Amino acid sequence: MTGVSTNPFDDDHFHEECAIFGIYGTPESSVHTALGLHALQHRGQEASGIVSFDGKDFHAHRGVGHVGENFDANSAPMQALKGHIAIGHNRYSTTGPSEVRNIQPFSSELAFGGFALAHNGNLTNAARLRASLVETGSLFQSSTDTEIIVHLVARSHQQGVSNRLIDALKQIEGAYSLVCIADDMLIGVRDPHGVRPLVLGKRDDAYVLSSETCGLDIVGAEFVRDLLPGEMVVIDKTGITSIMPFQEQPSRFCIFEYIYFARPDSILEGRGVYHARKSIGAELATESHVDADLVVPVPDSGLPAAIGYAQAANIPFELGIIRNHYIGRTFIQPTQKGRTDSVKMKHNANSSAVAGKRVILVDDSIVRGTTSRKIVLMMRAAGATEVHMRIASPPTINPCFYGVDTPDKDQLIAAQMSVDDIAKEIGVDSLSFISIDGLYRAMGEARRDPDCPQFCDACFTGDYPIKLATGLSAKRVSHGVIN
């Protein structure tokens, strides 16, 4: 469970709620894990943690802040993270400071020995499971749903760590990718629908698990494959074992990974993220082009889609907005007003490129509309004669309950207004979103088959592939806890 951009003012974006990484078979496991978390920093910036195992003892360090703030190569915490196995986690939080008690990976001494776990996703039956566990004597140290898995593993009567974990996971509902350490082994698991990503790589004799392939690249690991939906891999001194312990379900990989969450240089489920975003932009141009002089991306998330749009429309691409990449945590504003007033700290119009021009702005999504409105005003102040906006996703009308931090439905602008009304609200001359069928075409499908969709697209369609707890659709999930 953790975030998407190192910038604190991405108010018009969903935020992924974490990155996970694990490695088995190298004495420098913690160093490689820290590097992997660096590459996955876009998925979470509020906190990071690493747990390592040396064959006898577990070692852990967790801290608020970016990976580099917590895991300097020559620091005492890094030197103490000894062992040939390590797992790591990046976390994102939406309001206020991260609580240290919620920073993963979690580690515990259970009846069979030490156990450490890091989790990307959310459990939709977390409230019911937690209440039942507390009622029967479990003592929780955190407020996240991830700890529920630890308690279920501890209570299982199955023999062997992998069987205990399978027993625990069969009791939960929701989306998850996990990396675990126990009994001198590294375990990786994806939920039966494969909503959240997890890839397998190999570096010399070491095996690597990562949320994205960019985490493999930074440690020099060769991509082997994506874990299958519902697959568990167990890695130990004998090699790697694949287990398919759950009833087969239709694959419903999160389509927002391609639209925004994943790093553009990653490859997920056989698709290059960069090329997927370019294809989405090209499809967007086919569906809703308007006469204009320039295509301008809203950086950085709109860049690949804008390139695809410009190429398909055969009009110039220009960097009409320049992003400041050096905004630090010092400038995080805790209030909505503070975030809105601070947009100019992130973006500045390139007036020499846009003055006197009809501009098409391309962005990945509109969530609340606040940042979009500010950017449109910025374009007009810089001299743009027309401002049109094209969005590389369908209107976001539903919250996510599977590991993405989203506003309540009443804060999603597309759930409250028509497209024409949103256009008036944000001040553009025209506004278009890609259609849901167009999004599927860009992903290589003929259209979205309502009887057999290929992705989890519930934020656009309301088609939630995994059961929601009673009343959950009216609430939101933040950091794995039902609010």
**Other C-beta atoms lying within 10 Å of the C-beta of residue 195:** 29
pLDDT tens-digit profile of 213-230?
A: 999 999 999 999 999 999
- Show the tokens assigned to 141: 């140290």
| Kind plus residue range of the DSSP H or E element containing 19 | strand 19-24
Residue 30 burial class via C-beta count within 10 angstroms: exposed 0-12, middle 13-18, buried 19 and up: buried
Helix axes 370-381, 419-426, angle to 10 degrees: 50
Distance of alpha carbon 9 from the chain centroid = 17
Distance, in Å, from the CA atom of 378 to the CA atom of 428, rounded to the nearest integer, reads: 12
Q: How far is it, in rounded angstroms, from Cα 425 to Cα 442?
A: 29
Q: Which of 414, 390, 391, 392 is nearest to 462 (CA)?
A: 414
Residue predicted with more confidence, 139 or 181: 181
Q: Is residue 289 very low, low, confident or very high in pLDDT (cuts 50, 70, 90)? A: very high
pLDDT interval class at 96 (50, 70, 90): very low
Mean pLDDT for the stretch of residues 350-363: 97
Q: What is the pTM of this model?
A: 0.91
The 10 Å Cβ neighbour count of residue 427 is: 17
Q: CATH 3.40.50.2020 in the chain: give the residue spans.
A: 268-462
- Residue 412 corresponds to which amino acid? L
**b or e along 225-240 (b: 16 or more beta carbons within 10 Å of the residue's beta carbon)?**
ebbbbbbbbbbbeeee
What pLDDT is stored for residue 324 in this prediction?
81
Contact 339, 9 (CB under 8 A): yes
CATH number of 15-252: 3.60.20.10
Rounded to a whole number of angstroms, the CA Rg of the chain reads 22
pLDDT band for position 473 (50/70/90)? low
> What is the predicted pLDDT for the residue at 480?
45
Strands 386-391 and 358-363: what pairing?
parallel
Nearest Cα residue to 265 out of 213, 195, 197, 225: 213
Q: State mean pLDDT over 8-21.
A: 66
What percentage of the chain exceeds 70 in pLDDT?
A: 88
CATH 3.60.20.10 residue spans of the chain: 15-252
Task: Tell me what the mean pLDDT of segment 174-201 comes to.
Answer: 97
pLDDT of residue 461: 96
- CATH 1.10.3720.10 given to domain 268-462: no
> H helices of 138-258, where?
146-155, 161-169, 213-217, 256
Residue that is written with structure tokens 């891999």 in the block = 233
| Catalytic residue list contains 18 | yes
**The tokens of 305 are what?**
């889609």
Q: Does residue 187 contact residue 178 with C-beta atoms inside 8 Å?
A: yes
Q: How many CB atoms lie within 10 A of CB 262?
A: 28
Return the bridge partners of 239, or none.
236
pLDDT at 328: 53
Q: pLDDT tens digits, residue range 51-92?
A: 999 999 999 999 998 999 999 888 888 999 999 999 999 998
Rounded distance between C-alpha atoms, residue 320 and residue 358, angstroms: 11
Query: Which range has the worst mean pLDDT, 241-250, 325-334, 370-379?
Result: 325-334
**Tokens describing residue 148:** 């529920």
> Counting Cβ atoms within 10 Å, is residue 132 exposed (0-12), middle (13-18) or buried (19+)?
middle
Taking a C-beta distance cutoff of 8 angstroms, is the pair 94, 407 a contact? no
Q: pLDDT value at position 286?
A: 98
Mean pLDDT, the chain, integer: 89
Residue 158: is its pLDDT beyond 90? yes
Residue-wise burial string across 285-300, b where 16 or more C-beta atoms lie within 10 A, e elsewhere = bebbbeebbbbbbbbe
Q: Please provide the DSSP assignment of 338-366 as one string.
A: HHHHTHHHHEEE-HHHHTT-EEEEEES--
Q: Is the peptide bond preceding residue 363 cis, with omega within 30 degrees of 0? A: no
What is the torsion angle, in degrees rounded to the nearest 10, for the CA atoms of residue 133, residue 139, residue 142 and residue 143?
A: 40
Task: Name the binding residues.
Answer: 254, 301, 363-364, 400, 456, 459
Residues 386 and 356: beta-carbon distance below 8 Å: no
